[in-house]
Structure 1
Amino acid sequence: MHRTTRTLQQDADRHRKLAIERDKLLQEIRRLPDFERFLLPKDFAQLRASAHSGPVVMLNAADTRCDALILLADVDHVIHVPLPKFNLQRSVGLQNMLGRLLGHARATPFDDREGMRATRGAGSWETLLSTLFNGVIKPVLDALAFSTVGDLSRIFWCPTGPFVFLPIHAAGLYGTQYSSPGHKVSDFVISSYTPTLSILAQPNCHVAHSNDFRLLLVGQPSSDGQAPLRGVAPELRHIRTVVENPTSACTTLVESSVGTVEEVLGLMKDADWVHFACHGVQDAATPTNSGLCLANGRRLKISDIIGLSRSRSGLAFLSACQTAMGDEGLTDEAIHIAAGMLFAGYGGVIGTMWSISDKLAPIVARRVYEYLFRNGTRPDHRDAARALHEAVGHLRESGDASFATWVPFIHVGL
């Protein structure tokens, strides 16, 4: 059999020809409207657009130093904030401490939305959160001149590396000697997280003003083989009570009937908002298989969610475990369920950094929806961060919740 053998020169000529062809195609594409920067790095003006609703703070941990980089909508340069009291070793140490704390605070099987027990350990929440506050948060607040307690600006944390696993939003000094306002990040700002700058910059925050508002409720199916969640029924009941109140917005409640992946995906396409109250699973081996447990032992996976074609923005409330927990092998990539919801087109997501209490989840959900529907008008998903801030703050100050049970609730996106 005759076989044609190409020389090295012929291979080089072919590659050069393809490269010239590619450059010509890119030039043609970039002459099209809105494609001027196709396959080019984002310029600073595009990155700065991500700070339209508040400062965006990128946190970086490296072997030699840790830094915060701040973007402001009206400042034409990045504000660099060194973090001399913090380093990579300390951030990794806090991550390990958090793991021990969560092991020590394990819940009983019926009192969490994960259905598995953690191992025992030891640590100090006060030490973890005060180290974060003094070493990371305080320098950032000082650089932004956020010194007035109660004057709550939005702030968007974009963590990388070990910072991905740390509860930045809960940093502060706790204890009776610090009971007065001014010692916690929540006294100065309303915290949201963002997996990427582009998520905030993209124009997906349009809020319709028609009365055609549909809220989808998805509860834990009874036939999925998971441990029963006793808090799901009261949680959904609380939401119905708030939404169906005559003084609230005209809202159509849509509920999943069988809880299959196919049914839920179909309903999500047409609903404005979605609320899940179920088990959640973070798959360490294959992060895109992480998801929400539905009927027939199946999950609504991240891969299913990001493939969803939605034309609306809105809120996704994920009242489940580990829905905003990063992957240790891919700390600089946004691979968790909450991020998947953002990529699917939701403007904002309420998620969880670890397992949550089945007893307290309904309380948080009720207070969030009471705030969002308080004015009797169509709710705005951009109010969800403040709604969660108020709900968790009330839970924290009530004394009825431990650190492990109120800290995991976070807001992601706008």
Structure 2
Amino acid sequence: MDYTSAYKISTEAIELLPRVHSRSLDIQDQQYVLSLFSGLATNACSLALQTGEPPGKAVELLERGRGVILSLLMDDRSDVTGLKAVDPTLYTQYEGFRTEVNRSISDIKDQRLQQVAVKRRPEAIKDLENCIEDIRELPGFGQFQKAPTVEQMKKASEGGNIIFVNITDLRSDALIISGIGISSVPLPRFNASHAKSWIDKDLTTPSAIDGVKNGKKNKLYCKFLSWLWLECVNPILQEARYKLQSTIDQLNIDQLPRIWWIGTGLASSFPFHAAGDNLLGSTERTCYWAISSYTPSIKALMYAKERASTITTSSSNDRKLLIISMPTTPAASKLSKVGEETAAVIKALEGSVSVEVLEQPDVASVLHQIQECTIAHFACHGVSNPIDPSESGLLLQKSTTEPIQDILSIRKVSQTHLAGGEIAYLSACSTAETRAARLVDEVLHIVSGFQIAGFRHVVGCLWPSSDSVCVEVARLFYSELGQGQNGMPYEDRAVAVALHKAVMKVCESKGYGGRRLGEAPLKWAQYVHYGA
């Protein structure tokens, strides 16, 4: 195979992506177009490394060719106050065009005005695109709304390392971004055929989660996590010179370094945070080496950190906890522990927040109330749509008297623009899962929708969860989070640490046929933190 020619073709194809994907398409059409280019960015990354290109170039290709829809949504919500200080006129024009383009035509009630808006839309999009080009002519704004540069990526890794894990049929590699540079780690034994064989076992289906009868699947999943550690995570940690701090008894979690994981392609839903030997006493596990978070892309991490720098909450009197409680859901199983979970969350944060509970709410009520909250906790069912990921969402109810599902979809959430959202905790099934195989690198799941809306931290699940474990993880998370804040906004690292500690405590508890839950990873390994 002529790798050099293949690399050239793949990079040229990525250059053309903006021409076939634009604001003029609705999100379903955007998904269809990008599904035609499935695997382009991951293969371009592998070809770059195969032909001797620097690791930074490989990462740039991943950033430009993945998460394209999310990137556009972030651009439409990003903070541009810096532009106002440099050129107030361009700032005003940009905000005007951006507002016009982002306005939902279906929200316009007057039919005549709606027709005017439809006719005007192509021109408005062109005006916005021309305005963006004008902004890029300003000194210091050459990268405005472009994929991040290598220097910007290095800056984004402040506080830890960003690690891509890229698997293709050609090769598998990790790409490590730190404050001092970007390096690559070949993973020859972590290959596509092995990854596919594990994925095909389909171990995280709902039937695998509940009951001791699923011990065989838990044992098999333990083998998967061991393979993930031996062939992927451990070689990465060794190359990045991570060190085991101490014995288990002396472990200080607060001092562990941070990692933001980005799995691509086949590895897009791999639980790197849970990799390792889960037998009692073993330190060969990611959780003893680092605090793990995830991010759809480096640009998404930059977006979350930008949100963190603009949060203005300064007192516990300003902090509001909104709990969305769905003990029953039309056409879905009953969640018998939701009331217990709600009580546990309120007790854990007692005195530090004002609380509002919405029981059996509809989507409109939630979208209204969420504008004012600092923390949103959802205890409900979630659904991942394998055909149209933008319609994945949380299951609510049309009204208390009308037993019809009302879905709070990614599309609806991402159209919201929150000013003070700190944490969204999604205690629901599969909120961090993308089931559309040809769109896994668009990372369109419920968690990323809440990130786009403005929550700088989102806790979600990679697969369905057990009711009893949901209650305990939530209780421990908020108990850890509430310690030492003194009414100030949550320090970003503290959120990731709180989930890390909560899951580790649950992992070491008894509850799996009298044995440690650590031996049943399908009950706890699904919990993930996304964000700053």
Matched letter for residue 389 of structure 1: H
Mapping 1:323-338, distance limit 5 Å:
323-327=431-435, 328-338=437-447
Mapping 1:304-323, distance limit 5 Å:
304-323=412-431
Matched residue of 2:135: which SS? helix
Matched letter for residue 261 of structure 1: V
Q: What's the CA shift for 1:171? A: 0.4
The unaligned stretches of length 5 or more in structure 2 are: 1-126, 246-250, 399-404, 512-516
- Are residue 293 (structure 1) and residue 395 (structure 2) matched? yes
Map of 2:226 onto structure 1 = 130
Distance 1:101 1:346, change over 3 A: closer
Map of 1:18 onto structure 2 = none
Map of 2:121 onto structure 1 = none
- Are residue 163 (structure 1) and residue 267 (structure 2) matched? yes
Mapping 1:24-173, distance limit 5 Å:
28-32=134-138, 35-38=141-144, 40-73=146-179, 75=180, 77-97=181-201, 99-100=202-203, 102=205, 105-107=208-210, 124-149=220-245, 150=251, 151-173=255-277
Q: What's the CA shift for 1:409? A: 0.9
Q: Deviations over 1:207-246 (max 9, x none)?
A: 42223111110000646343221110000011111222xx
Aligned CA RMSD, in angstroms, stands at 2.5
Map of 2:31 onto structure 1 = none
Matched letter for residue 71 of structure 1: I
Matched residue of 1:294: which SS? strand
Q: Deviations over 1:352-377 (max 9, x none)?
A: 00000011101110000101112362
Corresponding pairs, count = 375
Q: Deviations over 1:258-283 (max 9, x none)?
A: 51100000111111110000000011
Distance 1:394 1:292, change over 3 A: same
Matched residue of 2:355: which SS? strand
C-alpha separation in 1, matches of 2:463 and 2:357: 26
Distance 1:188 1:160, change over 3 A: same
Matched letter for residue 482 of structure 2: F
Q: Taking every aligned residue pair, what percent have the same amino acid on both sides? A: 29
C-alpha separation in 1, matches of 2:448 and 2:276: 26
Q: What's the CA shift for 1:36? A: 2.4
Distance 1:227 1:78, change over 3 A: same
Deviates more, 1:343-352 or 1:84-93: 84-93
Map of 1:354 onto structure 2 = 463
Distance 1:22 1:253, change over 3 A: closer
Query: Structure 2-normalised TM-score?
Result: 0.66
Q: Deviations over 1:18-37 (max 9, x none)?
A: xxx99987653223466322
Q: What's the CA shift for 1:346? A: 0.7
Matched letter for residue 409 of structure 1: Y
Map of 2:528 onto structure 1 = 410
The unaligned stretches of length 5 or more in structure 1 are: 1-20, 112-117
C-alpha separation in 1, matches of 2:243 and 2:177: 19
Distance 1:169 1:376, change over 3 A: closer
Map of 1:205 onto structure 2 = 308
Q: Deviations over 1:310-358 (max 9, x none)?
A: 1124010000000001232212111100011111111111100000001
C-alpha separation in 1, matches of 2:430 and 2:260: 20
Q: What's the CA shift for 1:123? A: 6.5
Matched residue of 1:330: which SS? helix
Matched letter for residue 359 of structure 1: S
Map of 1:397 onto structure 2 = 508
C-alpha separation in 2, matches of 1:128 and 1:342: 29
Q: Deviations over 1:151-186 (max 9, x none)?
A: 5111110110111122111100233xxx33521010
- Are residue 341 (structure 1) and residue 444 (structure 2) matched? no
C-alpha separation in 2, matches of 1:121 and 1:182: 23
C-alpha separation in 2, matches of 1:242 and 1:289: 33
Matched residue of 2:508: which SS? helix
Distance 1:56 1:322, change over 3 A: same
Distance 1:185 1:224, change over 3 A: same
C-alpha separation in 2, matches of 1:320 and 1:167: 17
C-alpha separation in 2, matches of 1:233 and 1:267: 20
Distance 1:366 1:39, change over 3 A: closer
Q: What's the CA shift for 1:381? A: 5.9
C-alpha separation in 1, matches of 2:507 and 2:271: 15
Matched letter for residue 234 of structure 2: K
Which of 167, 185, 188 is residue 289 of structure 2 equivalent to?
188
Matched letter for residue 62 of structure 1: T
C-alpha separation in 1, matches of 2:277 and 2:192: 22
Matched letter for residue 266 of structure 1: H
Q: What's the CA shift for 1:284? A: 0.7
Map of 1:277 onto structure 2 = 379
